[in-house]
Amino acid sequence: MKNLENKIAIITGGGSGIGKATALKFAEQGAHVIIWDISDDRGKEVAQQINNNGGQAEFFHVDTTHKSHIESAAQSIFNTYGHIDILINNAGITKDATLLKMTDEQWDQVISVNLTGVYHCTRIIAPYMVQNNYGRIINASSVVGLFGNFGQTNYAATKAGLIGMTQTLSKELGRKGITVNAVAPGFIATEMIQLMPQDVLQSMEAKVPVKRLGRPEEVASLYAFLASDDASYINGAVIRIDGGISL
């Protein structure tokens, strides 16, 4: 049985990394996948891969820092299908620096994408879910949002902010048939991480109790569970998927 059969699922940042793995997993589970990304090449490539494999996917160029992009795409999707069931707020960036070296631009860019972008996506899409008294909203936080990390004041602030947003929205939207949860990954072997020097990767792995990095597909599987009806009583949760590094 496909747990996401006929669900309309929007995945922000769905063109690469965890977002790409999530798009592929959701398609396997029967969802109609809507990929939002700022990279046309990556987003179209993932959508084509899904469609070539017998799934259903389409790509929209959406920059989540632009409210008008979100409004236009969401309205188009709802007009076409009559429902939006799942929102995966996955898009995010890093602009790392220690506090004394961080620029205002680095701060503003990360806040704009990782926090304000999530707010706008959720604020615009939630009313469509309310119309059908059903929705699954899942936010990509991080263990950094729980425990902080050297050189990531901006990133940690956004990921901690998403936890507060998740728990608040779960109280506001739960009565309307919408669950809101957050996932907090640790070290995940995305394309960006794998470009790091081998000795740095080995050092990261050594810190994890299970002695390896996580796979994007493992995070995607957690997203898929939380988006399914099997998780209908999970609301306001922040689930760590980090191999035990945060213990």
Give the H/E segment covering residue 187.
none
Q: Exposure pattern of 4-34 as b/e (b: 16+ CB <10 Å)?
A: beebbbbbbbbbbbbbbbbbbbbbbbebbbb
CA distances from 90 to 2, 35, 93 (A): 22, 11, 10
Type of residue at 18:
I
Angle between helices 216-227 and 17-28 (to 10 degrees): 50
Residue 134 known to be catalytic: no
- Residues 134, 155, 223, 233: which is the catalytic one? 155
Spell out the alpha helix ranges (H) of the chain.
17-28, 40-52, 67-81, 104-111, 117-131, 143-147, 153-173, 191-194, 198-207, 216-227
Task: Tell me which residues are annotated as active site.
Answer: 155
